[in-house]
């Protein structure tokens, strides 16, 4: 849901910055790699130490590379299958690092086994949600469904909550409860989205199979009619 509107807005905002990078000779692939490395550093260095505010700041500074690299490729006219593959693959790596950072915190100093398990579920379900769409499209189905919690929602909910929860270190009371709430919301929302996509693929596959069978049976019936 957020992806549909927010992506278009930030693409317009970041277009001048993308043009500047192109003039400086920076390639879209380099931006993709640097952005992913920055997100991983913010998540896997700061989050396991409980530094949620600064970790979120670092991640936010790099997460927009996902929009900048594609913008650069379009402006330069060098969009390619490789670029799309690299971008999509590293998105999964970055997303996994964020929830791995949460899991490491709760497995260590955060000392909460249940929330550690919830964070791991968020990590795994996010990967599977993305896979269901990619796999459905790879077998020729449109997977025409807007899930309840897609990638943009997962990132916004978890990072906003983490950043605000990090203010607890600056003396803001009780605000650290926001991160556990956000993880539960993302976990439940991801499960609902997974079910939505599986149901959609099942329906679309049945419709495609029925249409294919009808297309085969139609000419066969016409041929038998001609023999009579």
Q: How far apart are CA 69 and CA 87, in angstroms?
A: 8
Catalytic status, residue 227? no
Q: How far apart are CA 1 and CA 143, in angstroms?
A: 15
- The region, left, alpha or beta by phi > 0 then psi within -120 to 50, assigned to residue 141 is beta
Q: How far is CA 135 from CA 61, 146, 183, in A?
A: 31, 16, 26
Q: Which of 69, 87, 91, 95 is catalytic?
A: 91
Q: How far is CA 216 from CA 72, 81, 223, in A?
A: 45, 33, 11
Catalytic residue list: 91
């Amino acid at each position: 849901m957020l992806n549909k509107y927010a992506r278009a807005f930030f693409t317009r905002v970041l277009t001048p910055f993308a043009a500047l990078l192109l003039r400086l000779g920076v390639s879209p692939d380099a931006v993709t790699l640097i952005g992913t490395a920055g997100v991983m550093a913010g998540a896997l260095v700061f989050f396991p130490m409980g530094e949620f505010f600064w970790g979120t700041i670092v991640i936010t500074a790099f997460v927009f590379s996902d929009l900048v690299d594609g913008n650069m490729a379009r402006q330069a006219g060098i969009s390619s299958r490789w670029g799309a593959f690299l971008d999509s693959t590293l998105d999964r790596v970055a997303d996994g690092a964020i929830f791995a950072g949460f899991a490491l915190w709760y497995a260590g100093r955060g000392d909460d086994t249940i929330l550690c398990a919830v964070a791991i579920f968020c990590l795994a379900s996010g990967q599977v949600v993305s896979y269901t769409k990619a796999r459905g499209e790879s077998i020729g189905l449109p997977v025409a469904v807007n899930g309840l919690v897609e990638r943009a929602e997962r990132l916004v909910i978890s990072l906003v909550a983490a950043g605000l929860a990090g203010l607890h270190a600056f003396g803001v009371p009780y605000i650290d409860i926001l991160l556990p709430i956000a993880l539960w919301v993302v976990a439940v929302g991801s499960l609902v989205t997974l079910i939505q996509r599986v149901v959609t693929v099942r329906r679309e596959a049945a419709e495609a199979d029925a249409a294919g069978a009808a297309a085969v049976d139609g000419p066969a019936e016409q041929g038998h009619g001609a023999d009579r």
